Structure 1
Amino acid sequence: MINRRNFLTTIALGTASAAVLSACGQSGTTAGKTGSAENPVTINYTWWGNDDRAERTRKAIALFESKNPDIKVNGNFTDFAGYWQKRATEAAGGGLPDVMQWDLSYLRDYGQRNQLLDLSTVNINTDAFDKSLLPSGQIRGKTFGIPTSTNAFAVYYDPAKLAAAGVAEPDGSWTYKEFHEFMTEVGTKSNGAFYGGGDYTAVWWMFNIWLRQNNMEAFTEDGKLGFSKDDLKKWWSQPAELRGTPAMIPEERVTQLLPKSAFGSNATASEVTWDNFMAGYLADSGAQELKLVPVPSDDPDNLGLFLKPSMLMVASAKTEYKDAAARFIDFMVNDPEVGQIFKTSRGVPASKTQRDGTTFEGTDKLVVDYEKSIEKYLKDAPEPPIVGFGTLEASFKRIASDMNYGKLDINGAVDAWFKEAEDIIKQNA
């Protein structure tokens, strides 16, 4: 488990205690093919996100190429769901891109199948990273991912919508009952202009937080489920009275709005999700201002929150350009100018060098300040989840959606998810 309590107040680490990947040098591997300014090598880089992240990423790539004329970067992106379908197809054919944006949910799947490069064998400087954060990218002594940034769960809300509905802004000190009352009041007083929020129980990571609030873990140390069917039934039943009311947007409407979220489409006044979505939500919604507060909890001393690597940088184990891939990853996680480009759109920069070189103002400062405000509530973050977790996370949302559509009753939904989970755990035991 990763101790993240003091991350935002970490002071610069001395070189004697810094975790430095480059200390391993490049023993046991080769740098791969190299280029020159006259004949640069080309590496492929892929990421997920919306148009805002794409524009920022292209600026970062252009900056990298200007400082590394011997390397060209061919970039492309897609949405989150499509992203993993493409990676699965490429992995099956042995053709993963040289460098990839990655999610913690899929790190163990690909790392344990030897499809990702052990980044301890190439030159990436991690002096400026909190020593407790790096294990999030490590599996069985190998480093497969370098965190770009951190994020935490929060409740987003649009203050203009609340003002229009005549509803007071929340301070984030609320129980689930009070949160439901807030959603109901907003949805009712909006007179059909927007809903109070969405079905937060369809989101795996919010369920994970609820489990932590109740002193349970999602998975045991031996890779089994750490909760029962009754626990999941209680979770999915929690907002039952909100479904079919102005408090909660119906699932068919959410589907119609894709690929934008209901909140980004101005169809709801609130959203429970990761705090680094600020830039995307502002771009999608056109809102002048958005705010965020802690998630609800029935125990005011235990919010179940943690800082998670919002994303990581990884490389293909089969890349022919290990040196170029490493230089690009190092640049993307450490360069202060890259921090200025992304601000908090990827999360709060994980590298102190990048974080200190970035000016946070306006909405970006809100995200940084939010993570500082929840510092005392932070618990240990999970290590890379079990093999097959990405599939489980996707099925959690899909089955919850089927329940909201009326295709499954709650008992059928719980049974369906548990069957998928137990099958996946058995297959990868």
Structure 2
Amino acid sequence: MTVLSGCTAQTEAPKDSRIELSVFWWGGDRRAELTKQALEIYTERYPDVTFKFTWQGNAGYFDRLSTEAAAGNAPDLFQIDDNYLTEYAQREILLDLTDYVRADLLDLRKLPNGLAQSSQVTGRTVAAAAAENTPGLIYNKTLLARLDMPEPHIGMSYEDFLSWAEEVTERSDGKIAGTMDPSADYKALWLWLRSQDKELYRGRQVGFTEGDLVRWFDMWRGARASKAAPKAEVIKPANSGDVTKQLVTSGKAATSFVWSNQLSELQKLTKDKLGLVSYPGDPKAQWARASLYWAGFRGTRHPETVVHVIDFLVNDARAGSILGTERGLSANLDVRKAVEQSLTDESMKMSVAFETDMTERFGAAPVPPPKGHATIKALLIQAAESVQFGQATSKEAAAAFISQANAALTS
């Protein structure tokens, strides 16, 4: 028997009568409310399956999950991201979903190819994308109109972008820099490398040379010298990626390098109208990236039911309409279209339209980052800031980063 669920047909829930699945995720109250609502729909359809909900902030989430997994009592179903996907797969914490995908018990056919691939570690499917996101350059449309400057566009080279940013600074009489300096932003570095047919990682080592990183740091050192980008003291608050500290809304820069789905949140922080475009460089450097994943615990007593719930969260139209864009854009393309039609937030509509347009431009997805990715991100911020504040040359910072990064990846 099948149950039609809007965009896809789901097989009947496995006959594990009267079971309770524990579900764990990080996020705020809004995410908790929507996730609970979606899973309550599942229980309405399959009354024998109920859920125990647990959620918290991001800080300490993976420490708790790791401790519980080591004790053999991790949640049946939990949220994970690409910082830890590979590590948790290698530690045999994640339920192997490969055979379920082959048997169509977990349907990933409505996901973009790159998004489905992004949940594979060493050829095994170990999770399913909860949503999709991609980097986005968010810019101040109101400011550019006031300065009579053209808006940035998809495919703009870095050379052209930095010349454009320098002119923005000049036309604002030096009051507003043309661009944020994203030299500490791993995703900006990654896309810049991919535009040169290189990757951030190559197995358990970084996928680029010390010379590549020197060129990256030097490019942004030049941008600061020309005043296309602001001084280090202005840049530093935004280096962590905190959406509330981004220079495009604080009035310190005309652009910020962020995630495309953050447009709506950033728009709430300014009265100026914001726009969205891809990062500079070849758009094929970008890919359909899972903002978050749903994964099952390898030790769950109810693997088939866990898989059925994951399939529901990814593919069910009603679940998708409830979850909306809180975790990013729906991974299932049919569900995404249905959600898009119900949106009333103009900024979110713009994010969805951008992602849809970029889907046709995306390049192949890289393999998920290796164990140690979170450490690498922190090391890049440390290295970039040492250059930004003049504490190290580009070469010194690059050499230190390469050494520390490779050590962290092989430890």
The TM-score bracket by the shorter chain reads 0.7 to 0.9
Q: CA deviation at 1:287?
A: 5.0
Change (3 A) 1:192 1:77: farther
Q: 2:109 and 2:240 mapped to 1: Cα distance?
A: 46
After TM superposition, list the pairs within 5 Å mapping 1:5-404 onto structure 2: 36=18, 41-48=20-27, 53-54=31-32, 56-69=34-47, 70-79=49-58, 82-91=60-69, 94-120=72-98, 123-130=105-112, 133-187=115-169, 189-190=171-172, 195-220=177-202, 222-243=203-224, 245=227, 247-248=229-230, 250-254=234-238, 258=242, 260-263=244-247, 265-267=249-251, 268-283=253-268, 285=269, 287=271, 289-297=273-281, 303-360=284-341, 361=343, 362-375=346-359, 377-404=361-388
Greater mean deviation of Cα atoms: 259-268 or 361-370: 259-268
Change (3 A) 1:58 1:396: farther
Greater mean deviation of Cα atoms: 316-325 or 226-235: 316-325
Greater mean deviation of Cα atoms: 263-272 or 387-396: 263-272
| Residue in structure 1 matched with residue 3 of structure 2 by the alignment | none
Q: 1:376 and 1:323 mapped to 2: Cα distance?
A: 34
In the alignment of these two chains, the number of paired residues is: 393
Counterpart amino acid of residue 169 in structure 1: E
> Tell me, what secondary structure is at the counterpart of 2:94?
coil
Counterpart amino acid of residue 364 in structure 1: M
Q: CA deviation at 1:199?
A: 2.1
Q: CA deviation at 1:228?
A: 1.0
**Structure 2 gaps, min length 5:** 1-6
Q: 1:190 and 1:63 mapped to 2: Cα distance?
A: 53
Q: 1:279 and 1:59 mapped to 2: Cα distance?
A: 22
Change (3 A) 1:133 1:169: closer
| 1:123-148 per-position Cα deviation (integer Å, ceiling 9, x unaligned) | 53435335664232122343211012
Establish whether residue 423 from structure 1 lines up as the match of residue 407 from structure 2.
yes
Q: CA deviation at 1:169?
A: 2.3
Normalized against structure 2, the TM-score is what?
A: 0.79
Q: Are the equivalent residues in 1 in contact too, given 2:25–2:79 (CA < 8 A)?
A: yes
Q: 1:120 and 1:257 mapped to 2: Cα distance?
A: 34
Change (3 A) 1:307 1:163: same
Q: 2:271 and 2:31 mapped to 1: Cα distance?
A: 17
| Residue in structure 2 matched with residue 7 of structure 1 by the alignment | none
Greater mean deviation of Cα atoms: 390-399 or 317-326: 317-326
Q: Are the equivalent residues in 1 in contact too, given 2:244–2:266 (CA < 8 A)?
A: no
Q: CA RMSD in A?
A: 3.7
Q: Are the equivalent residues in 2 in contact too, given 1:87–1:96 (CA < 8 A)?
A: yes
Q: 1:114 and 1:102 mapped to 2: Cα distance?
A: 14
The percentage of counterpart residues that share the same residue type is 25
Change (3 A) 1:255 1:271: closer
Q: Are the equivalent residues in 2 in contact too, given 1:251–1:405 (CA < 8 A)?
A: no
Change (3 A) 1:304 1:133: closer
Change (3 A) 1:269 1:145: same
Counterpart amino acid of residue 416 in structure 1: A
Counterpart amino acid of residue 44 in structure 1: V
Q: Are the equivalent residues in 2 in contact too, given 1:278–1:345 (CA < 8 A)?
A: no
Q: 1:257 and 1:364 mapped to 2: Cα distance?
A: 19
**Structure 1 gaps, min length 5:** 1-11
Q: 1:53 and 1:243 mapped to 2: Cα distance?
A: 38
> Tell me, what secondary structure is at the counterpart of 2:279?
coil
Q: 2:271 and 2:71 mapped to 1: Cα distance?
A: 43
| 1:212-233 per-position Cα deviation (integer Å, ceiling 9, x unaligned) | 211223333x544332101111
